[in-house]
């Protein structure tokens, strides 16, 4: 049977009134014959490889090949196998399987809350305006522009701390690989700039806290879902190409794209491309929001 051109047949006779016993015997016989067939295939492959290398198949090589194959297939070899996979020490760690999904979800939620935090903190301007605090601040020697810029900077600093803590927490607790440190140091400022200026832009159109609450409760959620559209199609095989393009109509989409590139070990150029998109959004948001606030208070 182990000869390269040999064939063999195995016939099993059983009592038709019995079911369990013959079924067990049939299974065992199949395992044995499969082992022989596998040994034959392994020997044939070995002979082919040796022939291509100009070597001869010796009885010693045949015995070793068959013996090693049988040990592996029957589990005698313990944790060893025919193929041993080793990871190089300098190879980039990754997020695979369920961990990949968890890491992407946590990254998406971090981006979502960064934008939500930016709008929530800038909303305090409306609260102070309704309570009369803003008017009293403007009556002090401090210029109105300085007061507004101070709130903008405080918002950006808070988001920076929030994002940094969440990334560190994800790495330490869930062992999430966020990407190379240099790429992370490039990505985080872009995310912070976009999230903080987004809040400035959004709240500049609001007159009361009631309006701001409705907009943040619905608008930010909708925009966040658009930006994280790829997250909702992770389990779909061959998602449409629009999933990669459509989210880029909102800043959250650029942030998700940049973080995904970072976590996948993408090049610095690709990360910079996403960060550049975030910075362009930030510039537009700041120019519009700052102009409206100045006209409102200055």
Q: What is the DSSP string of 75-140?
A: TTTTT--SS-----TTSPP---HHHHHHHHHHHHHHHHHHHHHHHHHHTHHHHHHHHTHHHHHHTS
Residue carrying the six token digits 């059983």? 14
What number is the average pLDDT over the span 180-193?
Answer: 94
Token duo for residue 140: 């002090």
Token pair listed for 89: 């020490």
Rounded to an integer, what distance in angstroms lies between the CA atom of residue 244 and that of residue 235? 15
- Residue pair 281/194 in contact by the 8 Å Cβ criterion: yes
233 versus 79: the higher-pLDDT residue is 233
Computed over every residue of the chain, the mean pLDDT equals: 79
Among 103-112, 136-145, 233-242, 251-260, whose mean pLDDT is lowest?
Answer: 233-242
Query: How high is the pLDDT of residue 10?
Result: 72
Distances, alpha carbon 115 to alpha carbons 8, 98, 275, 287, 291, in Å? 70, 26, 15, 18, 20
Residue 219 · residue 148 · CB < 8 Å: no
Dist CA 233 CA 242 (whole Å): 11
Query: Binning pLDDT at 50, 70 and 90, where does residue 189 land?
Result: very high
Task: Say what the pLDDT of residue 298 is.
Answer: 62
Query: Where is pLDDT greater, at 182 or 27?
Result: 182
Q: Tally helices (H) and strands (E) across the chain.
A: 13, 0
Tokens of 224: 């966040």
Alpha-carbon distances, residue 249 vs 77, 123, 226, 277 (angstroms): 56, 24, 8, 11
* pLDDT at position 247 over 80: yes
Residue count of the chain:
298
Query: Model confidence at 78, in pLDDT bands (50, 70, 90)?
Result: very low
- DSSP character at residue 218: I
d(CA 184, CA 63): 54
Ordered by start, the domain boundaries in the chain are 1-85, 99-297
Residue 29 has pLDDT above 70, yes or no: no
Mean pLDDT of 165-185: 91
């Amino acid at each position: 049977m182990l000869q390269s051109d040999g064939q063999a047949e195995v016939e099993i006779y059983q009592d038709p009134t019995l079911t369990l016993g013959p079924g067990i015997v049939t299974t065992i016989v199949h395992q044995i014959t499969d082992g022989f067939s596998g040994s034959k295939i392994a020997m044939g492959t070995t002979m082919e490889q040796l022939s291509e290398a100009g070597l001869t198949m010796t009885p010693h090589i045949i015995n070793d090949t068959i013996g090693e194959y049988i040990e592996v297939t029957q589990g005698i070899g313990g944790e060893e196998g025919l193929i041993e996979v080793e990871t190089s020490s300098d190879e980039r760690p990754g997020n695979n399987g369920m961990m990949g999904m968890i890491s992407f979800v946590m990254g998406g939620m971090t981006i979502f809350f960064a934008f939500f935090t930016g709008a929530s903190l800038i909303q305090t301007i409306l609260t102070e305006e309704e309570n009369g605090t803003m008017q009293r601040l403007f009556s002090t020697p401090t210029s109105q522009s300085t007061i507004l810029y101070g709130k903008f900077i405080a918002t950006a600093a808070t988001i920076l701390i929030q994002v940094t803590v969440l990334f560190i927490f994800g790495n330490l607790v869930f062992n999430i690989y966020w990407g190379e440190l240099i790429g992370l140091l490039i990505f985080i400022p872009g995310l912070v700039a976009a999230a903080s200026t987004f809040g400035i832009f959004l709240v500049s159109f609001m007159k009361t806290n009631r309006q701001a609450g409705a907009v943040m409760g619905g608008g930010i959620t909708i925009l966040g879902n658009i930006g994280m559209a790829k997250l909702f199609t992770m389990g779909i095989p061959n998602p449409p190409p629009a999933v990669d393009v459509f989210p880029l109509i909102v800043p959250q989409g650029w942030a998700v794209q940049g973080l995904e590139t970072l976590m996948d070990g993408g090049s610095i150029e690709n990360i910079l491309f996403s960060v550049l998109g975030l910075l362009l959004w930030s510039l537009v948001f700041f120019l519009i929001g700052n102009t409206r606030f100045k006209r409102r208070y200055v």
